[in-house]
Structure 1
Amino acid sequence: MIDPLLDHTVRHQVNMTQYGNYVLAKMIRILNLSDADLIGALNAALEDMDADSFKVQRLDKLLASVREVNTQAYAALYGGMTDELAAYVEYEGQFQYDLYKHVVPVTFSIASVVPEQVYAAAMAQPMQGRLLKDWAANLSASRLQRVKDTIAVGYTQGKTTGDIVREIRGTRALNYADGLLDTSRREVDAVVRTALSHTAQITRKRFTEENDDILGDEMWVSTLDGRTSPECRARDHKLYSKIEHKPVGHDLPWRSGPGRIHWCCRSSSIALLKGQKTLYGSRAAAGGPVDANLTYADWFKRQSAEVQDHVIGAARGDLYRAGKFDVKDFTNDKGRMASLKELRERDASAFAQ
Structure 2
Amino acid sequence: MINPLLNHAVRHQVDMAGYGNFVLAKMIRILNLTDADLIGALNAALTDIDADSFKVQRLDALLKSARELNAQAYAALYDGMTDELKAYVDYEGQFQYDLYKHIVPVDFSIGAIVPAQVYAAAVAQPMQGRLLKDWAAGLGTNRLQRIKDTIAVGYTQGKTTGDIVREIRGTKAVNYVDGLLDTSRRQIESVVRTALSHTGQITRTQFYKENSDILGDEVWISTLDGHTTEECRARDHLHYTPIDHQPVGHSVPYLAGPGRLHWQCRSTSIALLKGQKKLYGQRSAVGGPVDANLTYNDWLSEQSEAFQDEVLGRAKGAAYRAGDYKASVFTNDRGRTLTLKQMAERDRRAWKGGILDE
Offset of residue 161 of structure 1: 0.8
Offset of residue 306 of structure 1: 2.0
What residue in structure 1 maps to residue 22 of structure 2? 22
Deviation string, structure 1 residues 266-306 (Cα, Å, up to 9, x no partner):
10000000111211222222233222111110121122222
Amino acid at match of 1:238: L
| Kept in 2: contact 1:50–1:160 (CA 8 A) | no
SS in 2 for 1:165: helix
1:222 corresponds to 2:222: yes
User: Does 1 or 2 have the higher relative contact order (CA < 8 Å, sep 6+)?
Assistant: 2
What is the distance in 1 between the residues matched to 2:43 and 2:127?
36
What residue in structure 2 maps to residue 147 of structure 1? 147
What residue in structure 2 maps to residue 86 of structure 1? 86
More divergent stretch after superposition (197-206 vs 319-328):
319-328
What is the distance in 1 between the residues matched to 2:284 and 2:138?
37
Offset of residue 227 of structure 1: 1.2
Deviation string, structure 1 residues 282-331 (Cα, Å, up to 9, x no partner):
22222332221111101211222222222222111111111222223xxx
What residue in structure 2 maps to residue 310 of structure 1? 310
What is the distance in 1 between the residues matched to 2:155 and 2:290?
58
What is the distance in 2 between the residues matched to 1:286 and 1:191?
28
What residue in structure 2 maps to residue 350 of structure 1? none
What residue in structure 2 maps to residue 182 of structure 1? 182
Amino acid at match of 1:160: T
- Structure 1, unaligned stretches of length 5 or more? 329-353
| Kept in 2: contact 1:118–1:202 (CA 8 A) | yes
Amino acid at match of 1:261: L
Deviation string, structure 1 residues 73-114 (Cα, Å, up to 9, x no partner):
000000000000000000000000001110000111000000
What residue in structure 2 maps to residue 5 of structure 1? 5
Alignment: residue pair count = 328
Offset of residue 50 of structure 1: 3.9
What is the distance in 2 between the residues matched to 1:63 and 1:290?
59
| Kept in 2: contact 1:50–1:161 (CA 8 A) | no
What residue in structure 1 maps to residue 299 of structure 2? 299
- Structure 2, unaligned stretches of length 5 or more? 329-358
Amino acid at match of 1:191: V
Amino acid at match of 1:204: R
5 Å matches for 1:85-164? 85-164=85-164
What is the distance in 1 between the residues matched to 2:286 and 2:307?
11
Offset of residue 25 of structure 1: 0.5
Amino acid at match of 2:136: A
| Kept in 2: contact 1:245–1:254 (CA 8 A) | yes
| Kept in 2: contact 1:170–1:179 (CA 8 A) | yes
What is the distance in 1 between the residues matched to 2:130 and 2:37?
29
Deviation string, structure 1 residues 34-63 (Cα, Å, up to 9, x no partner):
110110000001012243121110111111
Amino acid at match of 1:295: T
| Kept in 2: contact 1:111–1:211 (CA 8 A) | yes
More divergent stretch after superposition (45-54 vs 4-13):
45-54
